[in-house]
């Protein structure tokens, strides 16, 4: 069994496997976009000098708060314009992935709103094309006066808004302009202040400059814009920041996110609980297999969407997940690996877009990185991690346990207290889930992947659309692992037959 490392080694490893470790006076996990949009809007209302909005996508038409009564606009585009009129000294920078820009043409008033931004000297809008061919800018970061930041998996765009209730029918869960209904959506982000927010501000400004923007000076402000109504889950904690960045021009490859994932898996003693949009990373699967080979391995519980939200999901990510699950199953002698999908009260699939990992109720990780190859070394990503093993974070463990119970309670339609009690009684995350999940209502359903066809297997094998690194051929990097070895075994078996 892998032992839990010492506090000194934890701190050393964090500095080795991440970009920075910085202090936050306050930090909170925010689950689902209804709360995030509302809180981000409230925090931006308190901005004095600078707002940095960095994302995969932005849709100016979305409503940030359906219940706001403060007189400020609630639609994102109008709200940004209003802020600069209310505070003439406020500068707002918006950085969006360039490939997604083609969507602007089909978004009605969005093009007009962006045109207004361009004419506004205090709003700076830029498309980020500074990445390898085929890579995406995938970070989701908001920084206010370098004093408060949000970092996680939620983009300020359409099809994201939902409450933690994930009701089967919600009048607000409709697309802008067309008002067409979209499926329930589960997501998460982190709010942080202090030096962590300052560090995320530096990261966002570096990204702006890399995308070709003029250098942005850090704001000179004593503002402390923590939003009213957001109770801090953590106080005075050190937080690690990890990144992915592909090689591009003089920019070197950064694989901190992959390194930190692998180290977290290696260090797990009892369990790993993860929520993620995908399970398609060869490196992550190989790290899990190595643990499952042990005489008494930890449990692995992953919450994934049952089906994809688009062509890439259906044709690449889902077949990759099926192959990895099959290979992991060959080594799971103790039944310690599970993937579940959440459904609503009425049995409708809930799409999981959150990127959360909790290890032994000791480590909490939230960010933009998916468990796929792209997030390990190709797309730009940013994750935050709180480790209660650090002496400075010694009080964080109980809170992480509470958050893990709370997340499972949302999926199971139970109370957090019921989840905690089931886990305490069974001593097993898997047995606790299976005891509580039931056959009807809000629940987690064991995932049964569809067997990939020959074409899908070929796409997965070549990593054509989910590459591990940036090179012109979209080929896997030279680190043969689980999939390569498994296929070689299969080929030898075929020749023997």
**pLDDT per residue as tens digits for the range 34-52:** 999 999 999 999 999 999 9
pLDDT at 478: 37
Please state the domain count of the chain.
2
- Three-class SS state of 456: helix
d(C-alpha 226, C-alpha 346), whole Å: 37
Is the model's pLDDT at 312 over the cut of 80? no
Helix (H) or strand (E) holding 417: helix 416-426
- Three-class SS state of 236: strand
Q: Which among 126, 54, 40 has a CA at the least distance from the CA of 83?
A: 40
Determine the distance from the C-alpha atom of residue 145 to the mean position of all C-alpha atoms in its chain, rounded to a whole number.
23
207 with 284, same domain: the answer is: no
293 belongs to a structural domain: yes
pLDDT band at 460 (very low <50, low <70, confident <90, very high): low
Q: What is the mean pLDDT of the chain?
A: 88
pLDDT digits (tens, 9 = 90+) for 146-172: 999 999 999 999 999 999 999 999 999
Question: Which whole number is the average pLDDT over 454-461?
Answer: 58
289 with 218, same domain: the answer is: no
CB 393 within 8 A of CB 238: yes
231 with 259, same domain: the answer is: no
pLDDT at 14: 74
Question: Which whole number is the average pLDDT over 320-335?
Answer: 94
The first and second tokens of residue 270, run together, are 């009892």
4 belongs to a structural domain: no
pLDDT digits (tens, 9 = 90+) for 115-144: 677 778 999 999 898 888 888 889 999 999
13 belongs to a structural domain: no
Question: Which whole number is the average pLDDT over 178-189?
Answer: 94
217 belongs to a structural domain: yes
d(C-alpha 253, C-alpha 372), whole Å: 17
pLDDT band at 186 (very low <50, low <70, confident <90, very high): very high
- List, in sequence order, the alpha helices (H) in 3-54: 7-17, 33-45
Q: Which among 220, 260, 204 has a CA at the least distance from the CA of 53?
A: 204
pLDDT band at 307 (very low <50, low <70, confident <90, very high): confident
297 with 188, same domain: the answer is: no
pLDDT at 292: 98
The last residue of one of the domains, among 235, 270, 301, is 235
Determine the distance from the C-alpha atom of residue 177 to the mean position of all C-alpha atoms in its chain, rounded to a whole number.
27
d(C-alpha 207, C-alpha 130), whole Å: 9
pLDDT digits (tens, 9 = 90+) for 222-238: 888 899 999 999 999 99
Question: Which whole number is the average pLDDT over 181-197?
Answer: 97
Helix (H) or strand (E) holding 22: strand 20-31
The last residue of one of the domains, among 235, 262, 278, is 235
Contacts with 455 (C-beta within 8 Å, 6 or more apart), sequence order:
none
- Three-class SS state of 401: helix
229 with 250, same domain: the answer is: no
pLDDT at 46: 94
Determine the distance from the C-alpha atom of residue 368 to the mean position of all C-alpha atoms in its chain, rounded to a whole number.
3
Question: Which whole number is the average pLDDT over 293-313?
Answer: 87
DSSP character string of 101-157: GGGGGGSTTHHHHHHHHHH-TTEEEEEE--S-TT--B---EEEETTTEEEEES--BS
pLDDT at 351: 96
Question: Which whole number is the average pLDDT over 173-201?
Answer: 94
DSSP state of 215: P
pLDDT at 497: 35
The first and second tokens of residue 431, run together, are 């047995």
Cα dihedral sign for 127, 149, 206, 364?
negative
d(C-alpha 175, C-alpha 158), whole Å: 6
CB 111 within 8 A of CB 105: yes
208 with 249, same domain: the answer is: no
468 with 431, same domain: the answer is: yes
Hunting for tokens 């997604």 — which residue is that? 100
pLDDT at 465: 57
132 belongs to a structural domain: yes
d(C-alpha 466, C-alpha 449), whole Å: 19
Is the model's pLDDT at 423 over the cut of 60? yes
Contacts with 165 (C-beta within 8 Å, 6 or more apart), sequence order:
none
Is the model's pLDDT at 216 over the cut of 70? yes
17 belongs to a structural domain: no
Comparing 10-14, 49-53, 200-204, 390-394, the range with the smallest average pLDDT is 10-14
User: In this prediction, what percent of the chain has a pLDDT beyond 70?
Assistant: 84
Tell me the CATH number at 199: 3.30.870.10
120 with 244, same domain: the answer is: no
Across-strand partners of 275? Answer: 303, 356
125 with 226, same domain: the answer is: yes
pLDDT band at 335 (very low <50, low <70, confident <90, very high): very high
pLDDT digits (tens, 9 = 90+) for 86-126: 998 999 999 998 875 555 555 556 666 666 777 789 999 99
pTM of the predicted model, to two decimals?
Answer: 0.91
Is the model's pLDDT at 488 over the cut of 80? no
CB 225 within 8 A of CB 148: yes
Radius of gyration, CA atoms only, the chain:
22
pLDDT at 1: 46
145 with 193, same domain: the answer is: yes
8 belongs to a structural domain: no
d(C-alpha 344, C-alpha 59), whole Å: 26
- Phi and psi at 224, nearest 5°, equal -130, 80
Is the model's pLDDT at 483 over the cut of 60? no
pLDDT at 487: 47
d(C-alpha 367, C-alpha 384), whole Å: 6
d(C-alpha 66, C-alpha 451), whole Å: 42
pLDDT at 474: 33
473 belongs to a structural domain: yes
pLDDT at 493: 38
Helix (H) or strand (E) holding 204: helix 194-210
47 with 128, same domain: the answer is: yes
The last residue of one of the domains, among 235, 258, 289, is 235
pLDDT band at 491 (very low <50, low <70, confident <90, very high): very low
Is the model's pLDDT at 362 over the cut of 90? yes
47 with 187, same domain: the answer is: yes
Q: Which among 306, 292, 281, 279 has a CA at the least distance from the CA of 335?
A: 292
Residue 182's domain comprises: 27-235
């Amino acid at each position: 069994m892998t032992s839990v490392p010492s506090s000194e080694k934890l701190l050393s490893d964090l500095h080795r496997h991440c970009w920075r470790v910085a202090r936050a006076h306050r930090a909170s996990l925010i689950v689902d976009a209804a709360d995030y949009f509302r809180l981000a809007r409230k925090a931006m209302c308190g901005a004095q000098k600078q707002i940095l909005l960095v994302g995969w996508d932005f849709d100016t038409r979305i409503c940030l708060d359906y219940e706001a009564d403060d007189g400020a606009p609630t639609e994102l585009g109008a709200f940004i314009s209003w802020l600069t009129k209310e505070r003439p000294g406020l500068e707002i920078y918006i950085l969006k992935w360039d490939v997604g820009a083609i969507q602007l043409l089909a978004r009605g008033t969005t093009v007009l709103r962006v045109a207004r931004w361009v004419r506004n000297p205090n709003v700076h809008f830029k498309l980020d094309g500074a990445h390898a061919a085929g890579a995406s800018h995938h970070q989701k970061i908001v920084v206010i006066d370098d004093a408060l930041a949000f970092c996680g998996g939620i983009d300020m765009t359409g099809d994201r808004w939902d409450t933690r209730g994930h009701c089967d029918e919600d009048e607000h869960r409709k697309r802008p302009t067309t008002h067409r209904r979209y499926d329930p959506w589960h997501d998460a982000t982190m709010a942080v202040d202090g030096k962590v927010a300052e560090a995320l501000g530096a990261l966002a400004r570096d990204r702006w400059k890399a995308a070709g923007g003029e250098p942005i000076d850090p704001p000179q402000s004593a503002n402390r814009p923590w939003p009213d109504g957001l109770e801090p889950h953590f106080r005075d904690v050190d937080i690690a920041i990890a990144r992915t960045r592909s090689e591009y021009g003089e920019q070197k490859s950064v694989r901190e996110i992959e390194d930190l994932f692998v180290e977290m898996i290696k260090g797990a003693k009892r369990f790993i609980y993860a929520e993620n949009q995908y399970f398609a990373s060869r490196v992550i699967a190989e790290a899990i297999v190595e643990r499952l080979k042990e005489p008494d391995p930890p449990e692995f519980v992953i919450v994934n969407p049952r089906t994809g939200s688009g062509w890439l999901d259906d044709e690449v990510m889902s077949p990759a997940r099926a192959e990895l699950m099959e290979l992991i199953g060959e080594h799971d002698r103790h039944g310690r690996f599970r993937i579940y999908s959440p459904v609503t009260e009425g049995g409708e699939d809930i799409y999981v877009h959150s990127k959360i990992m909790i290890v032994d109720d000791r480590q909490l990780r939230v960010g933009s990185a998916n468990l796929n190859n792209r997030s390990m070394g190709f797309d730009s990503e940013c994750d935050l991690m709180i480790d209660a093993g650090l002496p400075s974070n010694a009080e964080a463990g109980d809170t992480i346990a509470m958050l893990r119970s709370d997340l499972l309670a949302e999926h199971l339609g139970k109370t957090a207290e019921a989840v905690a009690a089931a886990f305490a009684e069974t001593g097993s995350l898997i047995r606790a889930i299976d005891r509580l999940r039931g056959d009807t209502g809000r629940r987690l359903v064991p995932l049964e992947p569809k067997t990939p066809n020959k074409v899908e297997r070929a796409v997965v094998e070549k990593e054509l659309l989910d590459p591990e690194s940036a090179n012109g051929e979209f080929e896997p990097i030279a680190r043969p692992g689980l999939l390569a070895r498994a296929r070689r075994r299969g080929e030898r078996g075929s020749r023997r037959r």
